[in-house]
Amino acid sequence: MTDTETYGRFFLPGPTEVHPDVLAAQTRPMIGHRGPGIVELMQNIEPGLKAMFQTERPVIVSTSSASGLMEAAVRNGVAGGKVLSLVNGAFSSRFSKIAMACGHDVERWEVEWGQVHSPDELADRLARSEFDAVTLSQSETSTGALQDLEAISDVVRQHERALLLVDSVTGVGGAETHTDEWGPDFILTGSQKAVALPPGLAFAVASEAMMERSRNAEAKGWYFDLVDLVDQGIKYQSPATPAVSLLYALEAQVERILAEGMKARWQRHLDMQQRTFEWIDEMNDAGVGLGVFAAEGHRSPTVTCVTMPGGTGSPELVERVESAGWVIGGGYGKLSDSTFRIGHMGDHTVEELDGLLDVISEALK
Ligand SMILES: *Cc1c(COP(=O)(O)O)cnc(C)c1O
């Protein structure tokens, strides 16, 4: 089968499926990253990145996976004080571990996997002790839980010192997110999730307060120095050699994203989420016994973590789906046997999702 024939069957929650046209864009010949070609390329890319983040600020383009920019967040955004890490799954836990690995004093505020953090309780904690930064994962890909980023941003903004550092890796590009309006200090995503590109690039927006913190940061290293990344970025340059082929893919993909429009893109993700919930209801009416892992009312439009009938057997299910020619995600970490995950994000459609849900229904029999 050609790529085009199998397209629409790869529902991992990262990396996600990449459109054949976007994949093909990567085969263009190299250009020098100090010549005029790169300037034109980055100029073409800029409007799409700004639309995805809903920002007028510069969007940082990093040749790294998203975890690189999580490290950038703490290296540039913490000034010797404490970090409050909101932990509700594997990736928000990683954020706290990155802060610890950078030598920072980290308070881990853990809630059960699948739950989210209460903005009111966050306000209490920030009133009780002083923090340099708060870390969180907006959309926790291991559980499918969605934090209320707008409400949390409101709370953190009341505190002069604390900066809000947001991992939005399965948020931006799929879940409605308004960077300038909500005002997180640093919000990052990776290329291979809701943006539907191959892995290897990461994007972020830093607030003015974050840039000020970075200017004074002592041990921020070189590769992820935000001041340098932004100074060069606004001239359509980068401190080090960028992944040029991935930038070609990004140029092709932002054109597709702008053609769809962000509102339509967010709505398509909500529609896919809704269809997934409906399917679970239909299956349960037929006596199957599926569940949605994340707390009701706090579910990500990009990924659903589904609990297995009887709480076990997801690796076998994932395998049966794979032998039918389709790909879904297994459960993450401690949820590996009890859940599976559908990455209904990126460029997928409800029609493609319907095809997948039929296959999973069969595989559950
Ligand atoms: C995938 C993911 C990451 C890690 O991204 P990498 O590109 O693998 O570094 C971090 N946070 C969330 C929420 C993710 O889904």
Number of other residues whose CB lies within 10 A of the CB of residue 265: 21
Domain 20-259 has CATH 3.20.10.10: no
Q: What is the SS3 assignment for 220-248?
A: CCCCCCHHHHHHHHCCCCCCCCCCHHHHH
CA distance 304 to 277: 9
Whole-model pTM over 0.85: yes
CA distances from 242 to 58, 64, 71, 108, 350 (A): 17, 9, 18, 34, 35
The topology under which CATH files domain 3-16+261-363 is Aspartate Aminotransferase, domain 1 (3.90.1150)
Ligand 1 neighbourhood includes 67 CB (under 6 angstroms)? yes
CA distances from 16 to 20, 70, 191, 344, 347 (A): 13, 20, 9, 9, 9
Q: 156 by DSSP, 3-state: which?
A: helix
Atom 5 of ligand 1: nearest residue by CA position:
66
pLDDT score, position 1: 43
Ligand 1 neighbourhood includes 206 CB (under 6 angstroms)? no
CA of 35 to the centre of ligand 1 (A): 32
CA of 168 to the centre of ligand 1 (A): 9
Low-confidence ranges of the chain (pLDDT < 70): 1-4
Domain ranges of the chain: 3-16+261-363, 20-259
CA of 232 to the centre of ligand 1 (A): 25
CA of 117 to the centre of ligand 1 (A): 20
Atom 14 of ligand 1: nearest residue by CA position:
169
Ligand 1 neighbourhood includes 89 CB (under 6 angstroms)? no
Ligand 1 neighbourhood includes 224 CB (under 6 angstroms)? no
Ligand 1 neighbourhood includes 209 CB (under 6 angstroms)? no
Ligand 1 neighbourhood includes 93 CB (under 6 angstroms)? no
Instruction: Kindly report the backbone phi and psi dihedral angles of residue 327, in degrees, each rounded to the nearest multiple of 5, phi listed first.
Output: -125, 130
- Terminal alpha carbon distance of the chain: 27
CA of 202 to the centre of ligand 1 (A): 10
Query: Using alpha carbons only, what angle is made at residue 318 by residues 312 and 319, rounded to the nearest 5 degrees?
Result: 110
pLDDT single digits (tens) 13-65: 999 999 999 999 999 999 999 999 999 999 999 999 999 999 999 999 999 99
Beta strands in the chain (DSSP E): 10-11, 60-63, 82-87, 105-110, 133-137, 139-140, 145-146, 163-167, 186-190, 201-206, 291-292, 304-307, 327-330, 339-342
CA of 130 to the centre of ligand 1 (A): 28
CA distance 346 to 253: 11
The first and second tokens of residue 62, run together, are 């990093």
Ligand 1 neighbourhood includes 238 CB (under 6 angstroms)? no
* Phi-psi sector, 357: left (phi>0), alpha (psi -120 to 50), beta: alpha
pLDDT score, position 4: 66
Ligand 1 neighbourhood includes 66 CB (under 6 angstroms)? yes
CA of 288 to the centre of ligand 1 (A): 32
DSSP letter assigned to residue 299:
B
pLDDT score, position 86: 98
Per the CB < 8 A criterion, the answer to whether 302 and 295 are in contact is no
pLDDT single digits (tens) 245-283: 999 999 999 999 999 999 999 999 999 999 999 999 999
pLDDT single digits (tens) 165-174: 999 999 999 9
Instruction: Kindly report the backbone phi and psi dihedral angles of residue 235, in degrees, each rounded to the nearest multiple of 5, phi listed first.
Output: -100, 15
The first and second tokens of residue 111, run together, are 């809630």
